[in-house]
Amino acid sequence: MVLKVALIGSGAIGSRVAELLDAGAAPGVELTGVVPHGDAGTGFSFDEALDIADVVVECAGVAAVAEFGPRIVSAGKDLLVTSIGALCDDSLRQTLLDDGPGRTLLTTGALGGLDAITAACAGGTIHSITMESRKLPAALIQSWMDGETKDRILASTQPVELLRGGPADFIKAFPKSTNVVSALALAAGTWDVVEAVLIADPAAKQTSHHVVAETSLGTFNIRVTNEASRGNPASSALVPHAVVRGLRTLANANGSFI
């Protein structure tokens, strides 16, 4: 049986996912269409996606998860989320994870090691998770920053710590850098155990995440250094491949790590 997929978002991640699916990177998966942003008139609509697709993949941002996610799961379709930061919202998280009948699936995205943390959560206790993320300063400039703050971050020749906190702190200040923090909290099964530090580092050639998870089943020291996406220096080139890997597993788990 073919797994029919629709995409929401055709930016750096979505367009690469589409390319990979069209090139046959996930046997047993068929891309049925891409929901346009606004009135782009591509001849494919969200309603059609709900009608045709088995899985709708969000590659469009936190707001799109809130806009489309509840309708996808209530229609009994599966939702694959890249903008995991959206699940910081308690009510949206409950709707997407508990209400069904469709399932909400989360991409491993730019991170590795979530499988080990999830297994430790199921079989033991997560004591603490820390994460240090480093990105180029220009990728971390936000619209709420005043001119002086932007200039200081961009002009610094040294790393600048921009935020220290949990998912709820990140989603307010750096929504696009919240996905990995939220993913760790969801893998740990608790919203309070993750403390993340975000650093603007002028020497960062790539985005890096260093996670240390202390659990009753072991300590996981996970260091991921990501190449930037071709289309968006703030996104990682790994993410579309993580999405496609997930779809391939959904369509045909034979030989997959799950």
Q: List interacting residues with ligand NAD (CB under 6 A).
A: 8-14, 35, 37, 59-62, 64, 67, 82-84, 107, 109-110, 176, 179-180, 229, 231-232, 235-236, 239
- 50, two tokens: 């709900």
CA distance 11 to 188: 30
Between 162 and 171, CB nearer to ligand NAD: 171
Between 84 and 199, CB nearer to ligand NAD: 84
Query: In the bound complex, what is the minimum distance in angstroms from residue 70's beta carbon to ligand NAD?
Result: 14
Between 60 and 88, CB nearer to ligand NAD: 60
Cβ–Cβ contacts within 10 Å for residue 252, how many?
A: 15
- 241, two tokens: 């491949």
CA distance 244 to 82: 12
CB-side exposure of 99: number of CA atoms within 13 Å? 17
CA distance 147 to 166: 26
Query: In the bound complex, what is the minimum distance in angstroms from residue 180's beta carbon to ligand NAD?
Result: 5
Taking CB atoms, the residue at the shortest distance from ligand NAD is 11
Residues 33, 35, 95, 126: what is their CA dihedral angle, to the nearest 10 degrees? Answer: 70
Query: In the bound complex, what is the minimum distance in angstroms from residue 35's beta carbon to ligand NAD?
Result: 5
CA distance 1 to 55: 14
Query: In the bound complex, what is the minimum distance in angstroms from residue 176's beta carbon to ligand NAD?
Result: 5
Query: In the bound complex, what is the minimum distance in angstroms from residue 1's beta carbon to ligand NAD?
Result: 27
Between 62 and 120, CB nearer to ligand NAD: 62
Between 202 and 233, CB nearer to ligand NAD: 233
Between 204 and 217, CB nearer to ligand NAD: 204
Closest listed residue to residue 134, CA positions, set 224, 14, 42: 224
Query: In the bound complex, what is the minimum distance in angstroms from residue 214's beta carbon to ligand NAD?
Result: 22
CA distance 53 to 60: 17
